[in-house]
């Protein structure tokens, strides 16, 4: 069922959105028509996302801003760069992709973020936060070098403004004095309520009454001045601003600060955007737009998370179609395990980089509020913050998704591993993540951690093993350790104890004995390995199936034994090339275990970027499902088996 504009009490105006194919059409509209267009875009997005699921709240908060930017600026010649990009649904509706919105985040469909290969209106790909100012500055400098005159607009949220990269970019932009428009989309939300001093600062900016009235007065004056007198008016306003606030943080960084402006009010937005476009600013400008995440859709406005990420839902009630989970989520099993350890050890502390619910730390925080730290979107700081706590005897759990830990790689090596600090890395979303696609795949953590000396790297095959590995990590006080596990539901096939059992470090386990093929699995692919062994048996081949448990240190005796007693040796991991299979093949090579003709086959992700689809489809395409593992073994045995239709491995 869909909702129509008329349902929202609007009079029966002629629909506008049907006449808008791209921003050039939008710019033909009179400014007085833009509120209606915005409402139609808002409803179109609600209807589309109700069928697909995806990111909703952020997009609802930028509908007017998106319409205003495309109306004032000459996109795509003027470059519009979104930060994170999860709020880009209104942008996609207005940039020739309205008809494809129902394919968003599905295999072969639109990406849920901006992406260059998808549209000329997406000048820069996003999805990891806080990149837009850097990319915008790059575009601005390239423009100046080429003698071009287009505008560059970067839209960044208040949450994304908590990452260091944003300040690196502003610091450089201010110094270079490049003509760049940054729009701070301040909805006072990240995924969770925002944290950090910046959030409080922005609130002060918004609430400063004298500042607001004076600024409003100054803006009213400016908007009346003819362009040729802008400079004088600008200086007057700058003085007013400085007088009331001593200049904003952004001005100290070299930006001309304009705001706060109401990001939902075209009578605020349009004159400011037009002034910025026409006033001939010769340096960077920051427009502070105040918006509401979830705006215009009551279920989203009322929700604690403002419907940041939603499954399919009923548009009238807002009720999401949540299929009851068949098993606990891995993130919640982790939280259960960590709570159990923290009850026995008051040195256990935990850090998240703005992802409390996604990591399960929201549950840990309920039990131990004083031992839970949300550092904002600041993975680099978060890792070294944990290193500092580890130096002084604490047991910090740095809980960061695999893809977002990429942001803090140097900190893992330089600040943690070289100093042998016992930071525990809890790496959720390791492996295929499904709809978030290529930017969020947890593909590389085994590769990027596996090459670091003296790290313990674990991967549980199920939720019980995860609890055991958390208990094991709590005992590792002389070096860093990491536990990586996939997004979503566990198996639901094992009973969970109150507290995990400590494992012997570097020891794997054999689950099934065979003689033709050895399959050494790392992580949750173990279940499919056992099924593949059943298929091999049905074809007359017996397989030994083992669970490595540890990527580092490897169980050397187990690897040697498997190699010595089988003609075919497979490793299976839900990770990229260069991960577990490389560690095993490196050992086999150095021990001369290839010399007797051992047929070694790594089963891992293909060396390509894997786009959005369902996790099952992604695993099938990668050859990491039962059929793929079975085919790889049969091929090594000299028995070629036809691929499934979608497999690319």
Ligand X SMILES: CC(=O)[C@@H](O)[C@H](O)COP(=O)(O)O
Output the known binding site for thiamine diphosphate: 86, 127-129, 159-160, 187, 297, 379
Give me the least distance between CB of 433 and ligand TPP, in Å please: 12
Q: Which residues contact 593 (CB under 8 A, 6 or more apart)?
A: 560, 563, 564, 587
Cβ atoms within 10 A of the Cβ of 538, count?
Answer: 9
Catalytic residue among 42, 336, 407, 484: 407
Q: What is the distance between the alpha carbons of residues 317 and 547, in angstroms, rounded to a whole number? A: 46
Cis peptide before 260 (omega within 30 of 0): yes
- C-alpha distance from residue 153 to each of 10, 15, 147, 321, 554 (Å): 32, 29, 18, 37, 50
Q: What is the distance between the alpha carbons of residues 121 and 553, in angstroms, rounded to a whole number? A: 48
* Main-chain dihedrals φ then ψ at residue 319, nearest 5 degrees: -70, 125
Name 257's bridge partners: 286
Active site residue 51: no
Active site residue 295: no
Asked whether the beta carbons of 44 and 9 are under 8 A apart, the reply is no
Please identify, among the stretches 63-71, 173-181, 245-253, 429-437, the one whose residues bind ligand X according to the rule CB under 6 A.
Answer: 429-437
SS3 313: strand
Catalytic residue among 97, 143, 215, 293: 293
Cβ atoms within 10 A of the Cβ of 370, count?
Answer: 8
Active site residue 504: no
634 binds ligand TPP (CB under 6 A): no
Residue 43 tokens read as 């409803």
- Site map (CB under 6 A) of ligand X, residues 327-366, x = contact: -------------------------------x--------
- Residue 431 DSSP symbol: B
SS3 27: coil
- Site map (CB under 6 A) of ligand TPP, residues 292-331, x = contact: -x--------------x-----------------------
Q: Select the binding partner of residue 474 from Mg ion, ligand X, ligand TPP, none (C-beta < 5 to 8 A, by kind).
A: none
Give me the least distance between CB of 633 and ligand TPP, in Å please: 38
Residue 480 tokens read as 């860093």
184 binds ligand TPP (CB under 6 A): no
191 binds ligand TPP (CB under 6 A): yes
- C-alpha distance from residue 160 to each of 144, 154, 168 (Å): 27, 12, 13
- As annotated, the binding site for Mg(2+) includes 158, 187
Q: What is the distance between the alpha carbons of residues 382 and 398, in angstroms, rounded to a whole number? A: 7
Asked whether the beta carbons of 62 and 155 are under 8 A apart, the reply is yes
Q: Determine which residue in the list 41, 45, 58, 166 makes contact with ligand TPP, applying CB under 6 A.
A: 58
Give me the least distance between CB of 495 and ligand X, in Å please: 26
Catalytic residue among 64, 237, 379, 465: 379
- Residue 246 DSSP symbol: S
Please identify, among the stretches 78-86, 159-167, 248-256, 515-523, the one whose residues bind Mg ion according to the rule CB under 5 A.
Answer: 159-167
Residue 452 tokens read as 């670091």
157 binds ligand X (CB under 6 A): no
84 binds ligand X (CB under 6 A): yes
Give me the least distance between CB of 571 and ligand TPP, in Å please: 30
Q: What is the distance between the alpha carbons of residues 192 and 372, in angstroms, rounded to a whole number? A: 14
**Residue 602: enclosing H or E segment and its boundaries?**
strand 599-603
Residue 507 tokens read as 């020891």
Q: Determine which residue in the list 429, 535, 549, 632 makes contact with ligand X, applying CB under 6 A.
A: 429
245 binds ligand TPP (CB under 6 A): no
424 binds ligand X (CB under 6 A): no
Give me the least distance between CB of 358 and ligand X, in Å please: 4
487 binds ligand X (CB under 6 A): yes
84 binds ligand TPP (CB under 6 A): yes
In the region spanning residues 186 to 205, those forming contacts with ligand X, defined by CB under 6 A, are 191
Cis peptide before 7 (omega within 30 of 0): no
189 binds Mg ion (CB under 5 A): yes
* Closer residue to ligand X, CB minimum distance, 3 or 329: 329
- Site map (CB under 6 A) of ligand TPP, residues 130-159, x = contact: ---------------------------xxx
- Site map (CB under 6 A) of ligand TPP, residues 453-472, x = contact: --------------------
- As annotated, the binding site includes 86, 127-129, 158-160, 187, 297, 379
Give one DSSP letter per residue of 615-626, joined into a string: HHHHHHHHT-SH
349 binds ligand TPP (CB under 6 A): no
* Closer residue to ligand TPP, CB minimum distance, 165 or 518: 165
Give me the least distance between CB of 89 and ligand TPP, in Å please: 12
404 binds ligand TPP (CB under 6 A): yes
**CA 191, 192, 198 angle in degrees (round to 5)?**
95
Give me the least distance between CB of 52 and ligand TPP, in Å please: 18
Q: Select the binding partner of residue 126 from Mg ion, ligand X, ligand TPP, none (C-beta < 5 to 8 A, by kind).
A: none
- Which residue's CB comes closest to ligand X? 358
Is residue 434 left, alpha or beta, with left meaning phi > 0 and alpha meaning psi from -120 to 50?
A: left
381 binds ligand X (CB under 6 A): no
SS3 77: coil
Q: What is the distance between the alpha carbons of residues 621 and 610, in angstroms, rounded to a whole number? A: 9
Please identify, among the stretches 155-163, 204-212, 359-367, 557-565, the one whose residues bind Mg ion according to the rule CB under 5 A.
Answer: 155-163
Torsion over CA: 272, 274, 275, 276 (sign): positive
86 binds ligand TPP (CB under 6 A): yes
3-state helix, strand and coil shares in percent for the chain, rounded to the nearest 5: 45, 15, 40
Give me the least distance between CB of 113 and ligand TPP, in Å please: 9
Q: At what angle do helices 209-224 and 197-207 cross, to 10 degrees?
A: 60
Binding site for Mg ion (CB under 5 A): 157-159, 187, 189
Binding site for ligand X (CB under 6 A): 55, 84, 86, 191, 309, 358, 429, 433, 436, 487
Binding site for ligand TPP (CB under 6 A): 58, 61, 84, 86-87, 127-129, 157-160, 185, 187, 189-191, 293, 308, 353-355, 377, 404, 407
Catalytic residues: 293, 379, 407
């Amino acid at each position: 069922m869909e909702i129509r504009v008329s349902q929202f009490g609007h009079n029966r105006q002629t629909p506008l959105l049907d006449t808008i194919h791209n921003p050039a059409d939008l710019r033909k509209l009179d400014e007085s028509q833009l509120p209606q267009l915005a409402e139609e875009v808002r409803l179109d997005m609600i209807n589309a996302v109700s069928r697909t699921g995806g990111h909703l709240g952020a997009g609802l908060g930028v509908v007017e801003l998106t319409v205003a930017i495309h109306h004032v600026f000459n996109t795509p010649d003027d470059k519009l760069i979104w930060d994170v990009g999860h709020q880009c649904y209104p942008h996609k509706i207005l940039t020739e992709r309205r008809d494809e919105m129902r394919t968003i985040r599905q295999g072969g469909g639109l990406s849920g973020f901006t992406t260059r290969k998808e549209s000329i209106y997406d000048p820069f790909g996003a999805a990891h936060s806080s990149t837009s100012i850097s990319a915008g500055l790059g575009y601005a400098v390239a423009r100046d070098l080429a003698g071009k005159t287009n505008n560059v607009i970067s839209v960044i949220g208040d949450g994304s403004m908590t990452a260091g990269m944003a300040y690196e970019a502003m610091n450089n932009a201010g110094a270079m004095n490049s003509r760049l428009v940054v729009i701070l989309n301040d909805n006072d939300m990240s995924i969770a309520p925002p944290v950090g001093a910046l959030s409080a600062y922005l609130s002060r900016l918004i609430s400063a009454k004298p500042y607001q009235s004076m600024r409003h007065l100054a803006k009213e004056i400016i908007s009346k001045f003819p362009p040729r007198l802008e400079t004088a008016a600008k200086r007057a306003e700058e003085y007013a601003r400085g007088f009331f606030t001593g200049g904003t943080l952004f001005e100290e960084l070299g930006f001309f600060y304009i705001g706060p402006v109401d990001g939902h009010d075209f009578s605020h937005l349009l004159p400011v955007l037009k002034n910025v476009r026409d006033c001939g600013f010769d340096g960077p400008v920051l427009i502070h737009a105040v918006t509401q995440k979830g705006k215009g859709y009551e279920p989203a406005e009322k929700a604690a998370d403002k419907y940041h990420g939603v499954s399919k839902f009923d548009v009238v009630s807002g009720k999401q179609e949540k299929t009851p989970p068949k098993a606990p989520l891995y993130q919640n099993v982790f939280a259960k395990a960590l709570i159990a350890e923290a009850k026995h050890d008051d040195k256990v502390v935990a850090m998240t980089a703005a992802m409390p619910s996604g990591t399960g730390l929201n549950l840990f925080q309920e039990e131990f509020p004083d031992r839970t730290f949300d550092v904002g979107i600041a993975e680099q700081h978060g890792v070294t913050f944990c290193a500092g706590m580890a130096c002084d005897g604490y047991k910090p759990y740095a809980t960061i998704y695999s893809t977002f830990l990429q942001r803090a790689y140097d900190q893992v090596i330089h600040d943690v591993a070289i100093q042998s600090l016992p930071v525990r890395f809890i790496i959720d979303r390791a492996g295929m993540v499904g709809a978030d696609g290529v930017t969020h795949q947890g593909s590389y953590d085994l590769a990027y951690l596996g090459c670091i000396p003296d790290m313990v790297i674990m991967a549980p095959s199920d939720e019980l093993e995860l609890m055991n590995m958390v208990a094991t990590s709590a005992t590792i006080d002389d070096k860093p350790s990491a536990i990586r596990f996939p997004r979503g539901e566990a198996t639901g096939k094992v009973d969970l104890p109150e507290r995990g059992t400590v494992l012997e470090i570097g020891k794997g386990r054999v689950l099934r004995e065979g003689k033709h093929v050895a399959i050494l699995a790392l992580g949750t692919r173990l279940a499919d390995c056992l099924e593949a062994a059943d298929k091999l048996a049905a074809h007359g081949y017996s397989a030994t199936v083992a669970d490595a448990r540890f990527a580092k240190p490897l169980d050397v005796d187990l690897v040697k034994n498997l190699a010595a007693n089988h003609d075919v040796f497979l490793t299976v991991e839900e990770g990229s090339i260069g991960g577990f299979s490389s560690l095993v093949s490196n050992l086999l090579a150095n021990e001369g275990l290839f010399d007797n003709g051992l047929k070694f086959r790594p089963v891992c992700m293909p060396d390509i970027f894997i786009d959005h689809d369902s996790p099952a489809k992604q695993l099938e395409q990668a050859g990491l499902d039962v059929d793929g593992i079975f085919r790889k073994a049969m091929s090594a045995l000299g028995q070629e088996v036809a691929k499934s239709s979608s497999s690319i491995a």
